[in-house]
Chain A
């Protein structure tokens, strides 16, 4: 059986607010969310903005890239270069951290983030 969760889409920003192949931060309610425009792959990602390693609100300012044969998309925290999968939120630098990821879609130049 497939479980379909209801996703509530919220307009976060416009697509040209987010630099190509990079990220920026948006505010949704009291939450800070990092939005990434992975232009090179034609993909968009959203994660929490807080790096769990030293509790810094900076992930949106990190460099994005890919890792491994499967080209797992990732972001590197600018503070100490801990890297996180943009798909699963899992820490890829061999430590036990996990970040939240959010569903994201872009329509008509508008970026929507899904809150489950």
Chain B
């Protein structure tokens, strides 16, 4: 007997989620999906990231082989044209006819385009699909100014997209007297507007567009108040229209203002046809968010696979980051006095607006709005949804407890068991705590067994708190232990190894650990021993991470890249020529790095010692690009050449790099020195940054580029060279001794109790009384520097380790393949 067939019309986020949920529950159905767009379902919520560098594939909801792997037939670029309810078949544009037992309409919505004269001119776009984005991108290349019609959530996203595309002048035009009229109030809108205008957006409220003027293409907008705005392009974002045309054609009931009518089980007027997502009209509501769409998908899966779930409406609370500004709205955001009491906090200096609405008796939280700082959102939403009792001073919920005792009643552990924590995947507090009680101890574990936090990720901080809270409640001591082999934190093991004078890994394992070690504890112990004794690391090569073991960075295909040290980024023409010659001789790809070095890629392991030998003979040494160590101290050209430079930043950068080179730390370290406040060395994005002032140097610490950029913070101002190096010694050594493994200085500081003021107290005021010791330990490391490449080059035994085949030393890895690109090589894959 063949399986009943379910045809899904529409391959958007909700249509995809339906398939995912159904196959997880039942294999009793044959699923066939028709999508109008040319690609697999993708994450429309994060569409604007397409302009910020993500590819269409990055945004895809599933790997390319997902549908085939799950026996789902997928027709892309082939919209369903007709439903024949009598014969229970559908016909697609390309002529496919399929019989169905159940039909799921997930046709989504389209942009509402108002009937304004001139709307068909070139340069007018909507913002819905990747194809729309490609059109916008192409047109934006020749545009200097752009406007977005609509100041709602999507409109502001579209405005961000225009900024990301480099449009110099971006306008937002809203018909209502405020931005995001569905989510926030007038005062909140004013705060958001001020923030967005600081970021370069120009916002026009109370503007109704009368016509779009221009010769064939849009050149300006004319408004009802007879004003005009010149613009090179226009994006329409004036709302959505449910895609119900197919349902209409099939005679299904639709709402007077659009939308396919559904009951609580998401059934349309034909009980074998369901509608979910933005095309469905439930109790007079179209839900334009993804979480309720997923909930609807779940309801239908329950109908088909057996289950009793129904759709009871959905909380439309939202929290998002718009162009870097937090915006949140939850519960009943708009209820106002006298139906409730409101507490409002407004800080125009920092651009923060918070409003909470509480019941007249002061017992319950009804809803609210947060602009500029939405950290409290999760907890506030839970308080509304679970009708938690308010603390005696409800203002603490948006201001934080100010002095005195921490107010009782807050905290995730006090939530009821059925509190919904992850709304994307419908996971409750009870579900998460049960998973922890059943043995899931980490965020990854919990994600795997409950799926909580795998959607938008907004609940992850709460999930983490719940894990820690549950473990603690079970009497488990929560400590950052290294791994199953060492039941110590990194700092504890550091002290043990130091006090007991341990110099080899096996000894450390015998004394303080158990089992045979692993890829986590081996490099960690190696790093600690290096920070303590500064021995030649390749003497214990098999406990090093691959890069440290071979003193080079492993790259695609198994070849290595080589980075000689170029202190401060200063290099003579003679040395440049040597690098070129070495690269030519060994067939290497060359690239300038972000830290002012030259990286040579594509070196066979067998060639590494010879490459180093040639570099060393020309006066180079290892740049430690492979180690958790000081990478680079980047510098601007400074006062020797620059007409603005106050001091010689290059000389100082070289001095500092020479001092700290080779020193191993919990993670890599980067520094920068700028010769004036223009900050061309981008020193404030480094672990330590030094900027020249009229009177000396300013020292900044704990900055970070990378995936979570963070500005460095000022540690000391207007200090001289000697003082600066003294402070740096203390700072770096304190970090080396106390940070968790693989923790950059920025994260180390963020986790530090007391934060910057505590750290300042340690380094500047010697509050722990350890500074003399820190300086001494650092000096020991500085004095024991050795070039690791040289150790290998001069030692025939160590050189022997650089063979791909130990039984065929002369032979290189035949699997390594290169192909050409712009006159150089790249790894062939």
Chain A residues near B (Cβ < 8 Å): 12-13, 17-27, 32, 35, 38, 40-41, 56-58, 61-68, 71, 73-74, 76, 78-79, 81, 83, 94
Contacts and interface: CB of A to CB of B under 8 A. Distances in A.
Which 4 pairs between the two chains have the least Cβ-Cβ distance?
Answer: A22-B542, A78-B546, A65-B518, A76-B519
A105 B585 CA distance: 41
A68 B556 CA distance: 31
Contacts of B546: 58, 61-63, 78
Contact of A65 (B516, B550, B803): B516
A32 B185 CA distance: 67
Given A27-B811, A62-B546, A67-B484, A18 B806 contact: yes
Given A19-B801, A61-B546, A63-B542, A73 B558 contact: no
B541 A63 contact: no
Nearest to A35: B806
B522 A63 contact: yes
Contact of B808 (A27, A64, A68, A81): A27
Nearest to B510: A40
B518 A67 contact: yes
- Output the residue of B485, B517, B542, B815 with the most chain A CB within 10 A: B542
Interface residues of B, number: 34
B811 to A, nearest CB: 7
Given A56-B558, A57-B815, A13 B518 contact: no
A32 B806 CA distance: 11
Contact of A63 (B506, B515, B519, B815): B519
Contacts of B519: 62-63, 65, 76, 81, 83
- Output the residue of B515, B543, B557, B807 with the most chain A CB within 10 A: B807
A66 B806 contact: no
B807 A27 contact: yes
B732 interface: no
A66 B542 contact: no
Contact of A66 (B506, B516, B807): B516
Contacts of A22: 541-542
Interface of B: 448, 484-485, 506, 515-519, 521-523, 541-543, 545-547, 549-550, 554, 556-558, 801, 803-808, 811, 813, 815
B806 A76 contact: no
B806 A58 contact: no
Contacts of B484: 67-68
Nearest to A78: B546
A40 B516 CA distance: 7
Nearest to A21: B542
A57 B515 contact: no
A73 B516 contact: yes
A25 B806 contact: yes
B667 to A, nearest CB: 16
B593 to A, nearest CB: 21
A66 B515 contact: yes
Contact of B807 (A17, A63, A65, A74): A17
A58 B549 CA distance: 13
B545 A32 contact: no
